[in-house]
Structure formats: C-alpha cells, structure tokens
Amino acid sequence: MERTLVLVKPDAVQRGLIGEVLLRLERTGLKIIALKMLRMDRDMAGQHYGIHQGKAFFEGLVQFITSGPLVAAVLEGPGAVEVVRKEMGETDPVKALPGSIRGDLALSIGRNIVHGSDSSENARKEISLFFKHGEILDYERQIDGWIRES
Ligand code: DAT
Ligand code: MG
C-alpha cells in the first residue's frame, strides 16, 4: 500500500492548525500509521530539502522549517501521494484552489502550512529521515472495508 510523508509545518503549529490539517487529510480515508512532533535542525532540513539547495529561497526555507516544532506523519492508502498533494493544493497558496489546505488556510509560498511527498520513491526516502522502523505501525481498522475494496 502506498505511503507518503506529511509535515504540518511550523507556521501551522503556531497558528493552532495541527488538528485542522490532520483532520482534512485523515477524513479522506488515508490511515495515519506514524505521528510525532519534533523540531528539525539545519542538517535534517538540508537533507529533506536537498533538491532545493542552491535556489534563491533555500536559506529562507531552512530558516523557516527549523524555526519551531512541526508535526510529521506517515499516511497510507491507495494513491496516498496524489491524494495528499491534491488536498494540499498548489505550492503557492495564492494559486491553490479553494477547498485545498493551502487555498483555504495560507497566503504565502514561504508559509504554506503543509508538506507532502511528491512521489512514492521520495516518500520512502523522506519517511526514513523522520521515522525509525519501530515508529511506523502496521495495523488494520475495522472501517477499512468501507473505504477501499481490498
Ligand atoms: P511543494 O512543497 O509544493 O512540494 P516544492 O517542493 O517546489 O513545493 O518547494 C518546497 C518548499 O519550498 C515549498 O513548500 C515552499 C518553498 N518554496 C518553493 N518555491 C519557492 C519560492 N519560489 N519562493 C519561496 N519559497 C519557495
Ligand atoms: Mg516538494
């Protein structure tokens, strides 16, 4: 089953939106199989956002993501990566559609509330940066038969 990494970023924590963001993602039917609060350090931020190293916004991005605690989660379900990206909306909240997390809750690209992996392969790498094996829980929910066919 597909998995994706979600970060409820420091702006959302400060604004009291942890529950709101997780609610919107959880109610899709995706299953939360790992969850923790932590503060990223520069080294971890560099690894997580390594692909953006050298870009004009990189330093600001690292400053922001390390500026306070965030919530990290692993969500599992069919099409988890795509479903979370759709719920998040476009990177720039001004362009993100109403109904999406960023469209409804944010205004600025550098304070855009939420991260979701952009591919299954990147999800695997990102998940391993945030969670040890034992922190990811393999469990069934009785309701799953009402959410997916198998
Ligand atoms: P996403 O978070 O939608 O996957 P991304 O991977 O392109 O977007 O960029 C990672 C984060 O970096 C993004 O959530 C916010 C920040 N960012 C991206 N482009 C930016 C820009 N042009 N100016 C400022 N911050 C930017
Ligand atoms: Mg990205």
Sign, CA torsion 17/56/85/87: positive
Q: At what angle do helices 80-88 and 18-26 cross, to 10 degrees?
A: 130
Q: Is residue 82 in contact with ligand 1, taking CB distance under 6 Å?
A: no
Ligand 2 centre to CA of 48 (Å) is 10
Q: Is residue 115 in contact with ligand 1, taking CB distance under 6 Å?
A: yes
For range 114-131, the mean pLDDT = 98
**Tokens at residue 66, please?**
């390390």
Ligand 1 centre to CA of 142 (Å) is 37
pLDDT tens-digit profile of 87-107? 999 999 999 999 999 999 999
Query: Measured between alpha carbons, how far is residue 38 from residues 68, 69, 89, 112, 126 in Å?
Result: 8, 5, 24, 18, 15
* Burial annotation 65-80 (CB, 10 A radius, 16+ → b, else e): bbeeebbbbbbbbeeb
Instruction: State the pLDDT confidence band at 150, using cuts at 50, 70 and 90.
Output: confident
Domains, the chain, ranges and CATH? 2-83+115-138 (3.30.70.141)
For all residues of the chain together, what is the average pLDDT?
Answer: 97
Q: Cite the active site residues.
A: 115
DSSP letters along 19-78, please?
HHHHHHHHTTTPEEEEEEEE---HHHHHHHTGGGTTSTTHHHHHHHHTSS-EEEEEEEST
Q: Is residue 57 in contact with ligand 1, taking CB distance under 6 Å?
A: yes
Task: Using the structure block, give the residue that is written with the tokens 């600025």.
Answer: 108
Judged on CB neighbours under 10 Å (0-12, 13-18, 19+), 104 is: middle
For range 36-50, the mean pLDDT = 98
